[in-house]
Copies of this chain bind each other. A is one copy, B any other.
Amino acid sequence: MTSEEPQLVDQNPLPAALSKRLTEQLSFLVEVDRLKTVLRASPLVAADRRENDAEHSWHLALMVMLLSDYADERIDIGHTIRLVVIHDLVEIYAGDTPLYDTAAAVDQEEREQAAADRLFRMLPADQAQWIRALWDEFEARRTPEARFAKAMDRLEPILLNWMAKGGTWQWPGVTADVIRARVSPIKDGSRQLWDAVHSMIADGVRAGWIRPGADQPGGDGVE
């Protein structure tokens, strides 16, 4: 850790009586308080402000618990919850990359890899390696658990946009086609939830909260 990278715990170091291992763990658990300040693009339903990453991660954990029966593949639910709990941690340093912000997506992977290196090394080596492996698993989507976790990550902002009657669906350049493409990871986790999302998008187009794609009847070809 260089002097360019102050940690929150430096503001008030933990008692010297604590073991090195526990000090590292609690210092990390203080540092991740920052996730509560990383704002996402999605509007809350229950208040007039944007959602933060910690709230989002909690919401996904509950979604995994309640919607796991819709997973197309057999999943370990406890493992899937672990994936969603840690999936956004790197945004503490890398920031959130909104789903419909193509400019921000350009260097997203590079930013997030650097953030992972910086953040996870605060932990004892065995736990750093384990949390890093969980994050890599989530990103790679090569396990059934990672695919379902990513499906939840895409489904949650759909719920929020639906309740907002627009939300980030109304950003410039976003049409029904763009939305379907960006949320397509849902299809890899659950066909039933993908069908439900199709209904929501179709109803959203009919209601005027979503611009139809340029190739559809009624499409206006905006950006």
Contacts and interface: CB of A to CB of B under 8 A. Distances in A.
Interface in A182-204: 192-193, 196, 199-200, 202-203
A181 interface: no
Q: Which of A29, A35, A54, A79 has the most CB of B within 10 A?
A: A54
Contacts of A119: none
Interface residues of A, number: 60
A222 interface: no
Contacts of A12: 162-163, 165
Given A14-B162, A33-B45, A37-B47, 17 more contacts: A8-B46, A8-B163, A18-B196, A22-B193, A26-B196, A29-B63, A30-B45, A33-B44, A34-B45, A34-B46, A36-B51, A37-B46, A57-B58, A76-B78, A77-B78, A81-B81, A81-B85
Interface of A: 8-9, 11-12, 14-15, 17-18, 22, 25-26, 28-30, 32-37, 44-47, 51-52, 54-55, 57-59, 61-63, 65-67, 70, 76-79, 81-82, 85-86, 123, 127, 159-160, 162-163, 165, 192-193, 196, 199-200, 202-203
